[in-house]
Amino acid sequence: MKIISESLIEQAAEMLEISEESYEQAVGEMQERQPVLLSYFFTENFQVFTQDEKEYLFYLMLVIWKAISLSGESVPAVTEQQLSQAEDDNWAQVQGIRAKGFHERLNVFFDNYPQEDLLAFVEDALAEDEEEEDGPVTQEGREALFISLKTAIDCLTGWSREKVLREK
């Protein structure tokens, strides 16, 4: 898969922000083309997040999905098995990390990851904003939201840690 550039990500975000109608249209397209991925964000795992976090997570997922769609790449429908495997791999990867800070804990995900701009977009979107004390993301939810979005990126781009390890 092509590298999804920062400019494609910005273009996708702008498209979603044009109007309520453009946002709803993107949701409809995602529902049609990625029903399993869309339903993933409404499973009981996500009930622990605040309403603001869930809405923000969904918006970020739409930006990611739209950016990948804008790349012109054909993206097969994500399966439950792919989601489960990617999520397990991502949680396993973060388990052994001793670093305390949010950004430091995420460094492991950037090593040899082909979609670095997408990951950086997610990291920046979830980072603490000193100017905005009560943003959409809580300190407790930040890492889990990152893992959820990283899981979606892995599935949409066909990236798998296992596949990379096999190729070495």
Q: State the DSSP code for 136.
A: S
Mean pLDDT across 20-36: 96
pLDDT band at 168 (very low <50, low <70, confident <90, very high): low
Q: What pLDDT was estimated at residue 96?
A: 81
pLDDT band at 165 (very low <50, low <70, confident <90, very high): low
Mean pLDDT across 77-98: 93
Single-letter amino acid, residue 105: R
* Cβ atoms of residues 107 and 138 within 8 Å: no
pLDDT > 80? residue 160: no
Q: What pLDDT was estimated at residue 166?
A: 54
pTM score, two decimals?
0.92
* Cβ atoms of residues 38 and 152 within 8 Å: no
pLDDT band at 86 (very low <50, low <70, confident <90, very high): very high
CA 90 to CA 154: how far, in whole Å?
10
* Cβ atoms of residues 147 and 60 within 8 Å: no
| 44-71 residue pLDDT tens | 889 999 999 999 999 999 999 999 999 9
pLDDT > 90? residue 80: yes
Q: State the DSSP code for 46.
A: G
Q: How many residues in total does the chain contain?
A: 168
Phi, psi of 14 (to 5 degrees): -60, -40
- Residue labelled with tokens 């083309």: 33
- Residue labelled with tokens 């980072």: 127
